[in-house]
Structure 1
Amino acid sequence: MGEPHRVGVVGAGWISGQYLDTLRDHPALAIAAVADLDAGRAASVAAGIAGCRALAVDDLLRDDSIGTILNLTIPAAHASVALGAIKNTKNVYGEKPLAGDMSSARAVLRRAAEVGVAVGCAPDTVLGTGVQTARASVDAGLIGRPLSAVAVMATPGHERWHHHPDFYYVPGGGPLLDMGPYYVTALVHLLGPIAAVTGAASRLRTTRAIGSGPRTGEQIPVSVDTHVTGVLHHVNGALSTITTSFDAVRTTAAPIEVHGETGSLAVPDPNLFAGEVRLFELGAPEWRTVPPSAGYADAGRGIGLIDMLTSPSPRASGTLAMHVLDAMTSLLRSAGEGRRIELTTTAERPGPVPLTPAAKWRS
């Protein structure tokens, strides 16, 4: 196999722990360095990984021994850190969304192509057995010709549990850009790329109260829409209805349902790697469970980076992430302008993931 591919992590916040649980012992890569604006936090993370150093962000980006940057910063920093990695001739794999706006996303992919480095982006949850088994069911014709899908994400807002939720309520945040990548990416896997969108949005209130941690009770401003809904017009003619909300309390809706001429699929939460896929066939008396038949089994966050470094056709690609961002930002624009918006990007439907046991993808 040769030497492991050396990875530098920028951003040592809460989500980094989930990535490191997946990546730290994988033989194909080595976590060589960690950087964070909080130097103490970076040092604490690095101390738990053999051979890992805590560095300043700029020093990590310039380190010639590192081949790929894992960008786990807040959304507002995604593009700048990615461009810094690319400037230093490094691959970059980042948390979602790819960037806060399409101009920045295009700059990232353009510079990467000029330099000749790879760009990948979360979510990689869609590569697990949940969404991939649903996709395999669609591809196998279990629901006949797919006609539509419904996706619903409804919560009362992240400020109830997050100690520093400010970035969820400024441009680049909101329920669509925060949680929408999971749902829109899953819909592209299930039904293919999107041609146009039609949207509507609202804002329940202009401030939010932090519900936990040292800032409990503090009011923070809300400058983005907190309930977004719309229709995704897929290239193949299927229509997906999506709702993402920080204004709801609870829903009984399945995270995603896909409907075809001869059946319907209930798809598990695309923010998770696994979950029960259920099928209701035309004329059947009830729903039945579809056994896992595709996807990375027992996967965790970071499987997309492993896939990028080991697969000839990476599935969590920057091109797909930019198309998903185009769909989401166009949906917000449509809501503001009151008209259908044609997308300016497209992406190939990623290749399916064969059912891959953990013992195989971990080796």
Structure 2
Amino acid sequence: MGSPHAVGIVGLGVISTQYLDLFAQSPAIRIAAVADLRPDRTAEVAAGIPGARALTVDEMMADPEVQTVLNLTVPAAHAEVAHAAIAAGKSVHGEKPLALTVAEGRAVMDAAAAAGVHVSAAPDTVLGTGIQTARRLVDDGAIGRPVAASATWVSPGHELWHPAPGFYYAPGGGPLFDMGPYYLTSLVHLLGPVVAVTGAARRARAERTIATGPHAGERIEVEVDTHVSGLLEHAGGAVSTVVTSFDAVRTAAPPIEVHGERGSLSVPDPNMFDGEVRLAALGEDGWRSVPASAGYEGSGRGIGLIDAIASGGAGRAGGALALHVLDVMESLLRSSAEGRRLEVGTTVERPTLVPLTAAVDWTRIAG
């Protein structure tokens, strides 16, 4: 086992605690430094991590000890922080989306290639046992040739619970950019890249009212579409339908279903790392649960960075996949605006299956 990989975290909001919880389990990662726009928050988090230093963003980028920058900023800052890290010769693992636009995302990937560093990105939930077990069943022919899939996520809106939900309704937010990456990344793992899309998107309200926290009662402007439906054509011939919404109360639809000529799969929530996979095979009566047979067991947010360290590159949650998903999302919105089917300009190799890996094994990985 080699030396721990030195990581600097930029952005210490709510999601950062989940990453820190995972990294605390593994000697693969050493948090060398943290930075946030709030110096008090930076100092507080650093004090709770042995050996971590509270730095400014500029200080972190100049620090030769930091090998990879974990970018947990708001979506509008993802590309800017990534470029700063790459310019400093550091690899980047970022929250989703990769950037606000495909053009920005391409620029990040081109800069990384020129600098000889790696880019990986959330969501890495797809590397858990839920999506990976479903992937293994598809690969093993349990449902025959895949022909269709559906993915559904709906909510009445984050302003009902989030104390500062404004960024969910700004560019880079909305249900598609917020939750779509989990579902679209899963569909690429299950069925391969997307070659064309047809989208329909709407904005139900021009304003939202914050319901909780210190800003309760304040109104926020809605700058993005809040209900997006899409038809995805995969390179292998399967067709997927996707619905993401901030305009619906709830749904009884399964998160993801995949249908083949000889069976169907019910796939668990891709915002989680595990969950029950169910198979309905042709000729059988009803659904049956399938034990976990692939994926990182007991994992959490940040496993994609550990996977990248193990691979010596970008890993299964690589930037190329994040760029393709970003392209699919942007194409869906543009298809809706233009009222026509659009071909997707990027493609990506379907990531390799994650073998069933116990926590005791993935926590031993170090770089």
Asked if TM exceeds 0.5, the reply is yes
Structure 2 counterpart of 1:325: 326
Structure 2 counterpart of 1:340: 341
How far apart, CA to CA, are the structure 2 residues paired with 1:6 and 1:335? 43
- Give the aligned length: 363
Does residue 238 of structure 1 match 2:238?
yes
How far apart, CA to CA, are the structure 2 residues paired with 1:195 and 1:81? 30
How far apart, CA to CA, are the structure 1 residues paired with 2:29 and 2:286? 46
Once the two structures are superposed, the pairs formed by residues 1-363 of structure 1 within 5 Å of their partners are 1-312=1-312, 314-363=315-364
How far apart, CA to CA, are the structure 2 residues paired with 1:191 and 1:5? 33
What do residues 34-71 of structure 1 show as CA deviations (whole Å, max 9, x unaligned)? 00001111111111100001101111111111110000
- One-letter code aligned to 2:61: L
What do residues 214-266 of structure 1 show as CA deviations (whole Å, max 9, x unaligned)? 11111111011100001011001100000000000010000000000010000
- One-letter code aligned to 1:320: L
How far apart, CA to CA, are the structure 2 residues paired with 1:146 and 1:190? 9
How far apart, CA to CA, are the structure 2 residues paired with 1:11 and 1:61? 14
- Residue 323 of structure 1 and its aligned partner are, at CA, apart by 0.3
- Residue 285 of structure 1 and its aligned partner are, at CA, apart by 1.1
* Contact residue 6 and residue 65 of structure 1 kept, 8 A: yes
What do residues 121-178 of structure 1 show as CA deviations (whole Å, max 9, x unaligned)? 0000000000000000111111110000000000001111111100111111110001
How far apart, CA to CA, are the structure 1 residues paired with 2:339 and 2:288? 40
**SS of residue matched to 1:301:** coil
How far apart, CA to CA, are the structure 2 residues paired with 1:130 and 1:29? 24
- Residue 197 of structure 1 and its aligned partner are, at CA, apart by 0.6
Q: Pick closer, same or farther for the CA change 1:32–1:312 going to 2, 3 Å.
A: closer
Q: Pick closer, same or farther for the CA change 1:296–1:2 going to 2, 3 Å.
A: closer
* Contact residue 182 and residue 271 of structure 1 kept, 8 A: yes
How far apart, CA to CA, are the structure 1 residues paired with 2:98 and 2:276? 29
- One-letter code aligned to 2:159: E
> Identity, % of aligned pairs?
63
Q: Pick closer, same or farther for the CA change 1:260–1:2 going to 2, 3 Å.
A: closer
- One-letter code aligned to 2:303: I
**SS of residue matched to 1:6:** strand
TM-score computed with the length of structure 2 as normaliser: 0.98
**SS of residue matched to 1:32:** strand
- Residue 25 of structure 1 and its aligned partner are, at CA, apart by 4.2
How far apart, CA to CA, are the structure 1 residues paired with 2:8 and 2:348? 28
- Residue 33 of structure 1 and its aligned partner are, at CA, apart by 0.3
What do residues 281-303 of structure 1 show as CA deviations (whole Å, max 9, x unaligned)? 11211100010000000100000
- Residue 209 of structure 1 and its aligned partner are, at CA, apart by 0.8
Gaps of 5+ in 1: none
Q: Pick closer, same or farther for the CA change 1:356–1:349 going to 2, 3 Å.
A: same
What do residues 179-202 of structure 1 show as CA deviations (whole Å, max 9, x unaligned)? 000000000000000101100011
* Contact residue 24 and residue 31 of structure 1 kept, 8 A: no
**SS of residue matched to 2:15:** helix
How far apart, CA to CA, are the structure 2 residues paired with 1:110 and 1:75? 19
TM-score computed with the length of structure 1 as normaliser: 0.99
* Contact residue 151 and residue 243 of structure 1 kept, 8 A: yes
**SS of residue matched to 1:196:** strand
How far apart, CA to CA, are the structure 1 residues paired with 2:21 and 2:61? 23
- Residue 3 of structure 1 and its aligned partner are, at CA, apart by 2.5
How far apart, CA to CA, are the structure 1 residues paired with 2:70 and 2:28? 15
How far apart, CA to CA, are the structure 2 residues paired with 1:152 and 1:355? 27
- One-letter code aligned to 1:293: S
Gaps of 5+ in 2: none
**SS of residue matched to 1:14:** coil
* Contact residue 46 and residue 54 of structure 1 kept, 8 A: yes
**SS of residue matched to 1:220:** strand
- One-letter code aligned to 2:264: S
- One-letter code aligned to 1:127: L
How far apart, CA to CA, are the structure 2 residues paired with 1:158 and 1:355? 34
